Amino acid sequence: MDTQAILQVENLQKHFPIKGGLFSPKGSKTVKAVDGVSFSLARGQTLGLVGESGCGKSTTGRMVARLMDPTGGRILIDGVDISQLGGRDLYNFRRKVQMIFQDPFASLNPRQTVGTAIAAPMLAQKINPAGGLKSRVKELLEQVGLKPEHYNRFPHEFSGGQRQRVGIARAISLNPSVIVCDEPVSALDVSVQAQVVNLLQEIQRDTGVAYIFIAHDLSVVRHISHEVAVMYLGKIVEQGPREDLFRDPRHPYTQALLSAVPLPDPRAARQQQKIRLRGDLPSPANPPSGCVFRTRCPLFGTLGVEQQQRCISDIPLPASAAAPACHHAGLDSAALAGVQ
């Protein structure tokens, strides 16, 4: 498999200004929705992006698809920075990165037949496929497991799973190199979810497309991803190959996240060691100093005063394949408690 990086993201940032009230100065504060995110994605591979709502995973995906403009940082597709593209260049870039959305009913125009919806990207990009547009659309319908005669049907005539197939057909119509899938199976029932996950994997095998797979369901992410990045409050706290990350999570947040997943196995669920995070995600408008996770960190309470001080004052290095973004990751919390 070609492991050359198709997508490289470097220090990506998205800051939203908080609009001040009538009497407060404007632009004085920002919400750092995404704050220094870096990762790379190889051809034909899938990067799973996980985290709680509000952690910035969707914002990251939308910036890669240029549905949002980054505040800072670079997005390299095939070595070309696309983060600042505009006009003609942006238009040409669109065919390289496509998107699949969570709610297939909201992302399809109810007055448009699915045939028209699937043809829209090709029309917009003025692509004339060999054999004509209509036959290409029918080919795409078959590729995603629908029937060519569905061409003239409307979205409401389809079930949720079938609608998501239409969304997938539309996304692959331009043969993109990267597809950003934002919670593509979250709205589907498990039995249908499995059908769509299988379809996404088949398409990847056949076309070599790379996916950014954004989801909060860790079991699905584990199933489909090659690499996984865990986000917390706009930052990646840990990333690495799927097997390593799930077998041996090193950041306390990843550990807590994994242990919170309910297991469909009652005996294992009773025995499972559970790490419970207290409270909610802090407001991204007013993040904690130093390590953003320290306010909920299960490790923090077991640390000595000096070590805690480090969490409060120093921002951990960004997560890399070698180390998670934590000052004290790898320290055995039980051993630490013994030291105290």
Q: Is 191 among the residues that bind other proteins (CB under 8 A)?
A: yes
Contact 129, 121 (CB under 8 A): no
Number of residues interacting with other proteins: please give it, by CB under 8 A: 43
Q: Which is nearer to other proteins, 122 or 210 (CB)?
A: 210
Q: Which segment (28-36, 109-117, 195-203, 284-292) binds other proteins by CB under 8 A? A: 195-203
Q: Which one of 262, 286, 305, 322 is in contact with other proteins (CB under 8 A)?
A: 262
Instruction: Choose among 177, 175, 149, 166: nearest CA to 6.
Output: 177
CB nearer to other proteins: pick between 9 and 168: 168
Which range binds other proteins by CB under 8 A, 64-72, 76-84, 165-173, 184-192?
A: 184-192
CA distance 216 to 226: 16
Site string for other proteins, 281-320 (x = CB under 8 A): x---------------------------------------
128 in contact with other proteins (CB under 8 A): no
Please enumerate in sequence order all residues whose Cβ is within 8 A of that of 234, keeping only pairs 6 or more positions apart, or say none.
Answer: 32, 33, 34, 35, 36, 37, 55, 56, 284, 287, 292
Q: Does 276 bind other proteins (CB under 8 A)?
A: yes
Side by side, which strands form the sheet with 235-241?
97-100, 178-182, 210-214, 46-50, 227-232, 235-241
User: Applying CB under 8 A, which of residues 80, 106, 123, 269 lies at the interface with other proteins?
Assistant: 269
Among the listed residues 182, 178, 225, 231, the one whose alpha carbon sits nearest the alpha carbon of residue 62: 182
Euclidean distance between CA atoms 313 and 298, whole angstroms:
18
26 versus 205: smaller Cβ distance to other proteins:
205
Interaction of residue 223 with other proteins, rule CB under 8 A: yes
Helices within the chain (DSSP H only): 57-64, 87-93, 114-124, 133-143, 160-172, 190-207, 218-224, 242-247, 252-260, 266-271, 305-313, 333-339
Q: Does 42 bind other proteins (CB under 8 A)?
A: no
Quick one: which of 29, 95, 222, 250 contacts other proteins (CB under 8 A)?
222
Residues that bind other proteins (CB under 8 A): 52-53, 159-161, 189-195, 197-198, 201, 216, 218-220, 222-224, 246, 256-267, 269, 274, 276-281
